Amino acid sequence: MHTLNKRFVHRIYSRFAVHFPMMYLGQTVTGQGIVRELSLVGCQALSNAPVIEGTSLSVRLALPSDLKPLVIERASVKWVKGLECGLAFGHLDERERGRLQQVLDELLARRRYNGLIRLSQTR
């Protein structure tokens, strides 16, 4: 008998370790938190007010390179573990999606650059 492994998730988008402040608003909850992992389609966050799996939130991310927050009008709570949660971005307008992609591109470039530094230091 085969059992489905629910712990393994195949991801097609790169996730980046970050530390970005965020605010969120739902029908029954308002809170703040820290985004710990970020991708083009979602994030993993630590929050100060518990959220409920399956609910929708409006999220504002404070980006280090911009004074204006990144606005995600609709994010779905995919999982919850205490005050940690996983959010899937449901709707980003074209401009906000472009801003998010730019941040991720910068993170990717930094990761590659840091990798080259580590290689050169080992010789």
What pLDDT digit, counting tens, does each position of 78-106 carry?
A: 999 999 999 999 988 999 999 999 999 98
Q: Which CATH superfamily is domain 16-121 in?
A: predicted glycosyltransferase like domains (2.40.10.220)
Helix, strand, coil percentages, rounded to 5, for the chain: 25, 40, 35
Among 16, 11, 9, smallest CA distance to 37 is for 16
Q: Which residues of 7-25 are buried (b: 16+ CB within 10 A; e: fewer)?
A: eeeeeeeebbebebebbbe
The DSSP bridge partners found for residue 58 are: 25
DSSP 122: T
Counted residue by residue, the chain has a size of 123
pTM of the model: 0.79
| Boundaries of every domain in the chain | 16-121
Query: What is the model's pLDDT at position 117?
Result: 42
